[in-house]
Copies of this chain bind each other. A is one copy, B any other.
Amino acid sequence: MPLRLSRLFLRTLRDNPADAEVASHQLLVRAGYIRRSAPGIYSWLPLGVKVLRRVEEIVREEMDAIGAQEVHFPALLPKEPYEATNRWEDYGDNIFRLQDRKAADYLLAPTHEEVFTLLVKDLYTSYKDLPLSIYQIQTKYRDEARPRAGLLRGREFIMKDSYSFSVAEEDQRAAYEAHRAAYLRVFERLGLPVVPVDAVSGAMGGSASEEFLFPCEIGEDTFVESPGGYRANVEAVTTVPPEAGDIDGLPAAAVHLTPGTDTIETLVAAAQADHPRPDRAWTAADTLKNVVIAVTTAEGERRVVVIGVPGDRDVDLKRVESTIGAQLGLAGEATVEAAGEEDLRQHPGLVRGYIGPGLDLEHPVLGQDASTGIPYFVDPRVVTGTSWITGANEKDHHVFGLVAGRDFTWDGVIESVVVEDGDPAPDGSGPLSTRRGIELGHIFHLGERYAEALGLRVLDVNGKLTTVTMGSYGLGVTRVLAAVAEAHHDERGLIWPGSVTPADAHIVATGKEAEIFETAESLAADLEARGLTVMLDDRPKVSPGVKFGDAELVGVPTILVVGRGLKDGVVELKDRRSGEAEQVPVDSAVDAVVDAVTERIRSLS
């Protein structure tokens, strides 16, 4: 039976909903696919359910094809497993917690590493049972501080999450590669030009974790690429540091009066005017800017740290956030922001505009063991032997020629500045350019973390207990659907790829004559007999303009108009994407539609 617009539970909207800023959100609501139920929580209308099921089915097919087995876990889970891995605490405000009638603690799971691990522990005991990959497609929950962009960042959403379990390292690597390949096939089938990028920085090796980003202006992630094929999330990019220089022979540092120079710009101008260097002009890159950051721990404690970066660079708080927790030895997800008035008031040792690490190693100002006790991190460009103009910790004073490693030191090195177009790729593959993207998937070598915490051990080939190695692979199903809408639309509406369209063809009957409606019905029946799914606009007393507008908004890629031309024996076949239309004889219309649909599936667009 065709999907009849006369009966379909659908009401298209002329205007964008007030809270919708991105195209996928606007169009999915306007075209009647979803409706907001609460912040970050959506209901699915019949058209939305159809597209969602198709996306799920593509994901399922590709998971099954790599031998992953589908299971299904509860969304409502007891606290205990998540306590064993510290995630009950680590998630902070980001998960929904609740108690049952007996006051037992539960959560709405954001991911399921713990219970997958426990289930395998429950069932399996030997290396012979492994490797194993299991997955689920399931509703997940995350109490986002700022749900936004419709399905792109929601609080209730659907994810496919899989987990692999191996004894042998090479089995884990194979599972990772299999998932990687499956993800690329999923995105190809969805018509999404997704790029995998390194998600974890150098130390663990580029292959330890990759994100699948859909390049898109509205994306929340920034990634870089080089002409030589390097691709990484900015959070994972590593700076190519200069070689450490020789300290010997460098001139001694000197404090100068630099009145009213509490910005890098005024400082460079003053340096140039009052203390010019012989060889070249001073630049912002000669200054060491000490930025005060407030870190809030998962438990809500607020701490201040200072990060020293070259003065021509800005700090990227997201990059800081991704590693500062580990640097400070914190459990859980820390959040960071620029320090405020109150933070500075609490640390009178920090002289705003003139902060520096101290004048010599005997009298450090910044650092856990220094006079302020404030942890001090520096950019990788600050290597031993580099010489800087920086604050002298006294109003209107800066120190010139302060040499890293000779005059000051630091608690750690941190990747913290905005990666800029033209920065060199860490693998030497050329200058980086930056792009925005939406993260649609993330694959990890987890190692033994969860297996260790939850005691998942099996007998190895020698009969000895060995801890299992795991991988974890997420793919945001509802987010993918939104990304498809971002990738495939124009100003008039959605344009679904053939792989997920709610119907293969959309027949629009325009006019009043019974013959038009009868012909439309009969074409629908013939197309269904050929195995196609059909949407049929059989609404009486609705103007052709409204019907065409709805068809373009709803976005079925092949449109067949049965109208005035019928008296001359022709109908109009329209391609929603190109806008091209051709008159075809009504007798060959079914073949023409079947050809168009087949061609679309063949070309995956």
Chain A interface residues (CB < 8 Å from chain B): 7-11, 32, 35, 37-38, 41-46, 48-49, 52, 67, 69-78, 93, 96-98, 100-101, 106, 108, 115, 119, 122-124, 132, 134, 139, 141, 143, 145, 155-156
Contact = CB atoms under 8 A, between A and B. Distances in A.
A49 B135 CA distance: 11
B35 A119 contact: yes
Contact of A76 (B73, B96, B101, B122): B96
A108 B10 CA distance: 26
Nearest to A52: B72
Given A37-B115, A96-B100, A101-B93, A9 B72 contact: no
A76 to B, nearest CB: 5
A211 B46 CA distance: 28
A10 B129 CA distance: 10
Given A9-B123, A9-B134, A38-B77, A71 B97 contact: no
Contacts of A98: 96-98, 108
Contacts of A132: 9
Given A101-B93, A123-B9, A76 B43 contact: no
B43 A73 contact: yes
| Most chain B CB neighbours (cut-off 10 Å) among A9, A46, A67, A108 | A9
A35 B116 CA distance: 12
A458 to B, nearest CB: 13
Identical subunits present: 2
A123 B72 CA distance: 33
Contacts of A115: 37, 43
Contacts of A32: 123
B124 A11 contact: yes
18 contacts: A9-B132, A11-B124, A37-B74, A38-B77, A38-B78, A44-B71, A48-B71, A48-B72, A49-B72, A74-B156, A75-B75, A75-B156, A76-B96, A76-B155, A93-B101, A96-B98, A97-B98, A108-B108
B74 A49 contact: no
A7 B70 contact: no
Nearest to A97: B98
A388 B57 CA distance: 70
B37 A67 contact: no
Given A10-B123, A74-B156, 10 more contacts: A11-B124, A37-B74, A44-B72, A49-B70, A49-B72, A75-B75, A76-B96, A96-B98, A96-B100, A101-B145
Given A76-B155, A77-B38, A71 B96 contact: no
Contact of A43 (B38, B69, B74, B96): B74
Contacts of A119: 35, 43, 45
Given A76-B141, A134-B9, A71 B46 contact: yes
Nearest to A144: B101
Contact of A101 (B35, B46, B122, B143): B143
Contacts of A67: 7
B37 A71 contact: no
A9 B71 contact: yes
Contact of A37 (B10, B73, B108, B141): B73
Nearest to A11: B123
A31 to B, nearest CB: 13
A119 B10 CA distance: 11
Contact of A46 (B70, B73, B74, B124): B70
Contact of A45 (B35, B52, B71, B156): B71
Given A11-B123, A43-B119, A71 B49 contact: yes
A139 to B, nearest CB: 7
A134 to B, nearest CB: 6
Nearest to A80: B38
A141 B45 CA distance: 22
A124 B32 CA distance: 12
A343 B376 CA distance: 69
A43 B9 CA distance: 33
Contacts of A38: 74, 76-78, 106
Contacts of A8: 69
Given A11-B123, A115-B37, A108 B76 contact: yes
